Amino acid sequence: MAADGISRIHAPAKLNLNLRVTGRRDDGYHLLDSVVVFTGFGDWIKLEPAQEDSVAVTGDFASSVGAGEDNICFRALAAFRDHGGVAGGHSITIDKRIPVGAGLGGGSSDAAVILRYLNRTSPAPLADRRLAEAALSLGADVPVCLAGIAQRMQGIGDMLTPVDPVPHGHLVLARADAMLPTAEVFRSLRESGSGDAAPLRSSEISGSVADIVAAGNDLQAAAMSLSPDIALVLDRLRDGNGVIAAQMSGSGSACFGLFDNGDDAATAAETLARDGIWAVATRF
């Protein structure tokens, strides 16, 4: 925290290097198996003490996100207190750089950094288990974002195992011109008649990055049926020099290209951006 009491925190984009849908519970929640990493690109959160809680949103994707009590960061403040945490009022400003509804976990990452900050600064911090429960109450991706390092994520997002060795690489994030609600993508998957997938193999968890990505994303075909632009973005990524693989992240519509080096990734991102496709080069 700075001397003026204002804290500025990075909320990294979440990336699913692969994703399997291994089943569905009786309550309708799907069971997943996925290797998740975090990128150098993300939102920025500014927090400062205040008489009462408030949330404002600025940045490239501000218009796609609700402010005030509708925002997940506002709910993160409430969840922390509801689970026994002690925290005063906070004014939160989100510089929204991560596309919304794109499978990059922007809202989840924002909420997770709020929970971490509150727990670190609280006079009565929560135990790890209670903090994880607060995270899960906000959404399936919030627990893995709370962990903040590469994880194998299973179950409904509540079963986390650190990935060792931690995968690293250069990539381009690119977004198809669509905002896909996760529930619609899963409904499309069910309607396709796709069966439950087998869990990830060891090489698909801790092997080379290329092996991890090669395990695929079970939601990709379902998302493409809702937004054919995803296929176009993937084709454009595969056209880049030095590309190793291209795939969709999470439930879409964002995709990623894995590249040999940062220079090729930067060139590919610049080319896509010139053609009107949102794209950034980063690494994980």
Q: Are 205 and 35 in contact (CB under 8 A)?
A: yes
141 flagged as catalytic: yes
Question: 214, 248 in Cβ contact below 8 A?
Answer: no
φ/ψ of 231, rounded to 5, equals -60, -40
Contact, 87 vs 122, CB < 8 A? yes
* Known catalytic membership, residue 96: no
Catalytic residue among 14, 43, 53, 96: 14
CB 180 within 8 A of CB 63: no
Residues 6+ apart with CB under 8 A from 174: 233, 236, 237, 254, 255, 256, 257, 269, 272, 277, 278, 279
Rounded CA separation 111/23 (Å): 27
**CA–CA separation, 144 and 38 (whole Å):** 10
CB 248 within 8 A of CB 255: yes
Of 95, 141, 218, 264, which residue is the catalytic one?
A: 141
Residues 6+ apart with CB under 8 A from 116: 146, 148
Q: For residue 252, what are the CA distances in angstroms to 97, 132, 175, 269, 276? A: 16, 25, 8, 18, 18
The CA distance from 135 to 21, in Å, is 22
Cα 18 from Cα 235, distance rounded (Å): 18
Cα separation of 97 and 131, whole Å? 26
Q: Which residues does the annotation mark as catalytic?
A: 14, 141
